[in-house]
Structure 1
Amino acid sequence: MKVMVQISQTPALIGMETTLGNLTISQPPADLQITTTPGEWNIHQPAPEVTIDQSRARAAYTGGTYREMSQRIYSGVEQLWLQGIAKRMEQGERMANFHKPGNSIGEVYGEDWHPVSYPEVRGPASYDNVDIDIKASPVQIEYRRAEVHIQVEQHKPQFQYTPSSVDIYLRQKPSLTFTPQVLDEQV
């Protein structure tokens, strides 16, 4: 009799499971605080100084002030007086030449019946009797520049890391089996 041994073997099986690692990086946005002071214009222009002198126009209409009117009357009376003296001298000369025709007393003094006009108390009339003087003031400009203030608060990056893992385990144990078999030789 012969004995035969049958050997059967089961290999070992190793299992591996991996979990991937994870890296997350986040950074919150920076906090900005922006304040602006607007620019400012200050423009100032004083009103112009306007001087209107209408004293000559008033003198032409009404005679002007009492002093001006008195001055014109005084000047006019002086001229009338000088003209009266000149007229009397002319009449006297004509009377001295009484022998000439037209120089009789009635003719010389007969022409002297018109009244002597009073001196003009008003000033001369003219289109240019009103004086206008305008003094413009320069424009005053002040400017304040706009200002921008920026404040930044940064935030650091935040890291989150989950490491990878490897699980190793034995899925199947190795085995070795011996099975004896008896062979029959009689055949």
Structure 2
Amino acid sequence: MVMFLDWITRSGLCTSLADLSISTNYSTPAPTPLNRLLETTGASLTRFDEDHYGLDPWPHGNLLHNTNLQTLDFRLYRITHDDKSQRRPSHAAWTEATRELHGVFSSIRSRRLEHIEVAVGIQVMHSTLEPAQPNDVLEKLDLRDLHDVMSQPYFDTLNEVGVEMTLGFGDGHTKSHEDSSGQKLEAMVYGILQPWSARGIVTVTWGHGYALM
């Protein structure tokens, strides 16, 4: 992947590219070659789709040079409690997710952005949310920097934000518990994206699947 990104950047084929999709399995592209490619596409890029599946956190592309971007699709690293050495507080994984969102949104410099689509896998365990209610977890998160970025003029033209959650449950969960967890997680996302939720442009959907990937 690194060699291919470097080759296509040097080839000059992407200087007028409007639509770019990056999809990887297992290994993820190194940030420097990907960012060089995004810099090369520059103002011509109007749509960027970034979809990584892997077991380790991945770097997102830097969109500073893509000043005419209109559509952005990306996948967040999974939200789960997988620290076997110690139990983390229920908001720890959410703190990491909000930092990841801040990193993506803070690199945007397009004033033409209209649509954002976010996919995220969530492994539903007691430490992910239960027994806390969404407001209890939200109160422990420092969302000021994220909300400040989301309130920047770069997002004035934004009119649609979709968040698709894939929820993974362990054995022994009832349908009622799964539905309750889905509703709580949905409320969490609306709270995290509050500046845009208040504008009525956020839609959250969820379904069952393999949230670890």
Larger radius of gyration: 1
TM-score norm. by structure 1 comes to 0.18
TM-score norm. by structure 2 comes to 0.17
